[in-house]
């Protein structure tokens, strides 16, 4: 199926998707706070029954290029979203965090289909971090073993309860960036990428301190550092200077007259984060990092911390993606031709 045909299908189903959203809008106001099942209750229920995603929620499919087999896998929309959530976020996270991740995944693929370039004539996206990480049912069964039914049930519940919803800014699907763990703040988009994106602004994320990925250290021999950066570090740290971004990450590292962005250092040395400090021990430089990932958009461990504190997925989305709206996908696709 080519791209124009796919967009045509999205347009045709726009009214249908809107109808699917209506029951949720009618029921939601009558659900009290105490009526929401706890994570423990949800998990216990999923042990005995699997929450499946009805085929009616996925009236079009995504063509995914599998990196290993180099074959294209056609996947119904909401199944694709569920498997991305399963591949990108720990399955034992709070249900509201899983819902927030589902919105990010659905928004990403919606933007890709409507505004992005397809990966190839046959495939919309890959299954790697070039787009979104995707594992199919067999791979997830192999990964989770006897936990598959329980894990997939919770993820499917999160996807089903947010079906047809995407995140928009000025009525367009957003760049739904996300990452694992912040340093306590997210990063302004323009401080890590080249472009300023109005809804990707630095916000507080104190919940991340509980993440197992919050701190890390990497010891790099000075000779290896010189080779990676193509510099000479004659006097150790004496000629190395750091400048920070508003989000607390390294904006620039200078070695004498040569300058590097924090992102360049992170990528060249394979550091967990661009928030790092350095110290010298004999012929080695010790990089101590805080956080994991690029830092732009939604922090996954932050989202889980918010959910543990009683926040809903809508509150999580509004916190990490400033001044955005949660919109039925039909509203965005209705204008396509």
Q: How far is CA 215 from CA 11, 15, 238, 277, 304, in A?
A: 46, 48, 25, 11, 18
The rounded Cα 296 to chain-centroid distance in angstroms is: 10
For tokens 């919940």, the residue is: 207
Q: Give per-residue pLDDT as tens, 63-86.
A: 999 999 999 999 999 999 999 999
Q: What is the mean pLDDT of residues 248-275?
A: 94
Question: In the predicted model, is pLDDT for residue 26 greater than 70?
Answer: no
**Strand residue runs (E) in the chain:** 61-65, 72-76, 125-126, 165-169, 172-173, 178-179, 215-221, 240-244, 250-255, 258-261, 276-281, 284-290, 298-299, 325-328
CA atoms within 13 A on the CB side of 168: 16
**How are beta strands 178-179 and 298-299 bridged, if at all?**
parallel
pTM as predicted? 0.82
Both tokens of residue 5?
A: 């045909």
Nearest to 202 by CA among 192, 191, 188: 188
Q: Give per-residue pLDDT as tens, 142-170.
A: 999 999 999 999 999 999 999 999 999 99
**What pLDDT is stored for residue 72 in this prediction?**
96
Tally of residues, the chain: 337
* DSSP 8-state code for residue 204: B
**Strand residue runs (E) in 18-60:** none
Contact indicator for 296, 195 with CB cutoff of 8 Å: no
């Amino acid at each position: 199926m080519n791209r124009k045909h796919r967009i045509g299908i999205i347009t045709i189903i726009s009214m249908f998707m809107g109808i699917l959203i209506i029951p949720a809008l009618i029921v939601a106001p009558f659900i009290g706070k105490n009526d929401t099942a706890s994570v423990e209750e949800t998990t216990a229920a999923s042990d005995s029954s699997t929450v499946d995603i009805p085929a009616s929620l996925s009236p079009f499919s995504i063509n995914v290029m599998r990196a290993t087999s180099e074959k294209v896998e056609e996947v119904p929309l909401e199944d694709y979203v569920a498997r991305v959530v399963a591949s990108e976020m720990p399955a034992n996270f709070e249900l509201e965090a899983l819902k927030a991740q589902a919105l990010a995944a659905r928004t990403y693929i919606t933007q890709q289909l409507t505004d992005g370039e397809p990966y190839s004539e046959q495939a919309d996206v890959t299954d790697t971090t070039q787009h979104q990480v995707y594992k199919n049912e067999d791979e997830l069964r192999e990964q989770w073993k006897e936990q598959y039914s329980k894990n997939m049930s919770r993820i499917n519940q999160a996807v089903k309860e947010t079906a047809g919803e995407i995140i928009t800014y000025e009525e367009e699907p957003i760049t739904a960036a996300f990452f694992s763990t912040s340093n306590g703040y997210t990063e302004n988009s323009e401080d890590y990428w080249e472009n300023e994106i109005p809804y990707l602004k630095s916000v507080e994320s104190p919940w991340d301190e509980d993440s197992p990925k919050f701190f890390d250290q990497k010891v790099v021999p000075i000779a290896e550092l010189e080779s990676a950066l193509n510099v000479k570090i004659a006097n150790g740290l004496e000629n190395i200077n750091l400048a920070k971004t508003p989000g607390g990450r390294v904006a620039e590292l200078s070695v004498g007259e040569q300058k590097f962005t924090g992102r360049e250092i992170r990528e060249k040395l394979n550091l967990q984060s661009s928030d790092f400090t350095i110290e010298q021990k004999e012929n080695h430089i010790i990089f101590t990092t805080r956080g994991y990932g690029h830092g732009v958009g939604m922090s996954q461990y932050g989202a889980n911390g918010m959910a543990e504190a009683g926040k809903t997925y809508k509150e999580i989305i509004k916190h990490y993606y400033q001044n955005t709206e949660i919109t039925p996908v039909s509203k965005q696709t209705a204008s396509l031709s």
